[in-house]
Amino acid sequence: MGKKDYAKPGEFTTLELMAVCGARAIKNGEVVFVGTGLPMIAAMLAKRTHAPKAKIVYEAGFIDSNAIDIALSIADSRLGYRASAAIGLIETLGLLLQGGHVDVGFVGAAQIDEYGNINTTYIGDFEHPTVRLPGSGGGNDIVSSAKRVVIIMTHEKRKMVKKLDYLTSPGHLDGPGARERVGLLGSGPSLVVTNFCQMDFDPETKRIRLASVHPGVTLQEIMENTGFDLLIPENVPTTEPPTYEELAILRAIDPHGIYIPRPEQSK
């Protein structure tokens, strides 16, 4: 089978497609800042396909990691296997990230708004929240200072909101020039990958814009599950499906389906 032999609908899961989308956002030689879960799988996939020279950094201190086993914690000893260095948080978040060496950072989100601002702290009112989420962790640091940011999340109306309950990590704030005005170093979110589509940011308004629709998903579905006004260009392509090669590698990376249940498991 060739490199560009695309898998057909039914031969891959949505999570697999999302991991592939994440991987493709990484260019060869880039320094990639990821957490556990889907971003870790995406970065490992990129490194084993088109971006073998990518360097994966985990905030706990693992630098240029070459882990062969799936990690459950950002500080998991598994990430130290054949790493270039194992140091600490000031090294990764301060010297590497804020120091300007990180090309692309991956984060998740409980809520985002139309400028890509992110909430991972509270659901509900700050004084009397409904749910207390894990908080920023290194998320705010990553979104503040990485050159590009990829957000991976599930696409639900209550998560794609007009107004965040709490602004944890800075997207494009209230629009063009806002990040520069408040003094942020990185250029903010550039891509959002969900279970329905990929979205990028309109360069003029800095608002979220539909970039590609996953195979089998309708525009209607996306709009119904988005709580803010999504910019929709005239021609929106279908997301390139995973290739058979990507799928094979992906399934070898996470053989027990810890983060990406196998097609047979997810049924």
Partner 1 sequence: MVEAPVEDKRITLKEAAKLIPDGAHLFWGGFGFQRPPMAFAHELVRQKKRNLTIYTCGSEMDIDILAGAYVVSHFELAFFAIEGIGLAPNIQRRIREGAVQIEDYTNLAMALRFLGGALGVPFMPLKSMLGTDLLAKSRFRAKKAEVITCPFTGEKVVLVPSVRPDFSIVHVSRVDREGNAQIDGIKGEDVEGARAGKKVIVLAEEIVDTEFIRSQPDQTVIPNIYVNYVVECPWGAYPMMVYNYYDYDMEHVRMYYQQCKTEEGWQKYCEEYITGVEDHVEFLTKIGMERLLKLRAKKPFPY
Question: Footprint of partner 1 on residues 168-207 (CB under 8 A)?
Answer: 168-170, 173, 178-179, 182-185
Contacts by 14-17 with C-beta closer than 8 Å and gap 24+? 14/195, 14/214, 15/195, 15/259, 15/260, 15/261, 15/266, 16/242, 16/247, 16/250, 16/260, 16/263, 17/214, 17/215, 17/239, 17/241, 17/242
Q: Please tell me whether residue 49 binds partner 1 under the rule CB under 8 A.
A: yes
At 47, the amino acid letter reads: K
Angle between helices 14-24 and 244-253 in degrees, nearest 10: 100
The one catalytic residue among 59, 91, 114, 246? 59
243 lies in the binding site for partner 1 (CB under 8 A): no
Binding-residue total with partner 1 (CB under 8 A): 76
- Considering beta carbons, is residue 25 or 93 the nearer one to partner 1? 93
Would you say 205 and 212 are in contact if contact means Cβ atoms under 8 Å apart?
Answer: no
CB of 195 to partner 1, least distance (A): 20
Annotation says 59 is catalytic: yes
**Which of 14, 38, 47, 201 touches partner 1 (CB under 8 A)?**
47
**According to the binding rule CB under 8 A, does residue 44 interact with partner 1?**
no
The least distance separating partner 1 from the CB of residue 256, rounded to whole angstroms, comes to: 12
89 binding partner 1? (CB under 8 A): yes
Collect all residues with Cβ–Cβ distance below 8 Å to 81 and sequence separation of at least 6.
65, 66, 67, 68, 69
Q: Confirm or reject binding of residue 223 to partner 1 (CB under 8 A).
A: no
Residue 115 or residue 196: which is nearer to partner 1 going by CB? 115
Return the active site residues: 59
